[in-house]
Structure formats: structure tokens, C-alpha cells
Amino acid sequence: MLSTSRQVANDIFKSNGVVSDQQGILLVTFPHMLILFLLAIVGGTLNSVAGGGSFFTFPALIFVGIPAIPANASNTVALWPGSVASMWAYRQELAQQKRSFLILMVGTSIIGGIIGAQLLLHTPASIFQSLIPYLLLLATLLFALSGPITTRLRMRNVGKARLTPHVLITVALAQLVIATYGGYFGGGIGILMLATLSMMGMEDIHVMNGLKTALASCINGVAVVIFILANAVVWPETILMIVGAVIGGYGGAYYTRKVNPRLVRGFVIIVGFVMSAYFFINIYIVHHP
């Protein structure tokens, strides 16, 4: 017999935030499922237009009673299919890259993603809980900076990247750090990768976006595998959110494109700051998980 949602949530929290077969699954009420589904649509829509979908989907999972670490793992799994779909749109830009360079960047992304995902699973639940407001704030600041940086990059002339051994080593090490952060939490890795690619002299924003999307898919993809193998994913809620994110990515984006992109980005940034403040107050002032 399955235990109640609150009992299972407490069991998961005490077991370092990882679901086990013996613990069962979280039971969420219909209103909660509806909230998750609708916010997944919003998250999928935003990710296909401006990014920042995790500012809605990750807090939503926590609000319905899922502990922070399973919520983070489930959020990664729920949004990953949309990232893979976006990568397909950049296949021509990716085909222009040297195979050796792609192998190097994909390899470091996979290694970093593995390290980050393992760090998450081995982080005590209470510590990760205390990091949530700071991680959300960091992701919000990176997202807020992504607009001006991307605009500046678009103003540059198209040119070829400088693939000297020194540059390749520097970029590979930077990508390893970014990928580790991406496997652990991941908010804002897109703008970090754009900055890294810019450092090596890459100037075509479309090619850079293609690489960014492909590398993010690798980072999250390997993290998805690790989270699934570790039973860190709450499947009923995750499957529901996958469906919602796909609907949002393919359907909602049509309507969102009719809205001024600056308004969409501004809305996401406001939500990011509000969520950061909410978790900071809840964790450090109210002392409520």
C-alpha cells in the first residue's frame, strides 16, 4: 500500500532526496497535477522563445511537495526533450564545425554533466535546499545579462574561430566547469557557453546558438540518464510535464512570437527574482522547506 504524499516526501528528504523503489512514488492531487501541466506548457513555450522555463517548472515541483533534489532531477528530465528538438533546428550550423572540435566539446560536456549530476545526488538534501535561492538568483542574473551580450555578439562581423592549442585547452576547461554546473543545476548555462565560445573568437551568433543548444543537450542528456538510474525522478509528474512542455514548445510558441520579445524576457526575469526572493524568505526567514 502506498503511503501518503507527505510521508513519502519526508522519506525522500531524509534519504538525501533520492527516490527508491521501496519508498514508492509521490501522490499528488489533481489540482497539483493541473498546476504542473499548465506551468510545463508555460515553461516549454518560454524555452522555445526566450528561455527561462525552469523558473516556472522547478518551483512548481517543489510547491506540490516534491523535495528539492528529486524536483531538480525531474525538471531536467521533463525539459530535456525540448532541448533535443531545438538542436535539430541547428543541424546545418553544427555541420560546419570541425569534427575534432565537436568531439572535444561534446566530450568535456558529457564528463562535466556526469560530475555535476553525481554531485547533486551526493549533496545532502538540507544543503541543496539552502542553495536554491542562490542558484535561482544566479540563473536569473545570467538570464538578464544574456540579452545585452547576445545583442553585442550579433553586431560583430562573422569570422572564423581561432582554434590554437592554447585556445582549445582554455575553452575545454571552461566548458568542463560550465557542464559540471549544468549537470548540478543548469540555470543560465546557455549564456555562459556563448561567452566561452566568444572568447575563442567565434563570431557567428547562429553557429554559437547551435553549439550552445547541442552542448546543453549533451550535458542534460547524460544527467537525465544518471538521474533515471539513481531513481531520482518522480515519474508521474515528470511524464505529465514532458507532455506539457512539448505542447508549449510547439503550440504556445506560435502565439508568444506575436508578443514583444522584450516583454517576454522582462516577465521571465521578474518571475526569476520573485522566485529567488520567495525561497530566500521561506528558507532563511520563515525556516520552512
Average of per-residue pLDDT across 72-100: 86
pLDDT of 158 = 46
- Band of pLDDT at residue 232, cut at 50, 70 and 90: very high
Report pLDDT digits (tens) over 239-259.
999 999 888 877 765 665 567
Report pLDDT digits (tens) over 182-209.
999 988 788 888 888 877 777 777 788 8
Over 107-175, what HEC string results? HHHHHHHHHHHHHHHCCCHHHHHHHHHHHHHHHHHHHHHHHHHHHHHHCCCCCCCCCCHHHHHHHHHHH
Could you tell me which residue, 45 or 62, shows the higher pLDDT? 62
Instruction: Count H helices and E strands in the chain, helices first.
Output: 13, 0
User: Cα Rg for the chain, rounded, in angstroms?
Assistant: 19
For 120-158, letters b (16+ CB in 10 Å) and e give: bbebebeebbebbbebbbbbbbbbbebbeeeeebeeeee
For the chain, give every domain's residue range. 32-285
Instruction: Judge whether residue 15 has pLDDT over 60.
Output: no
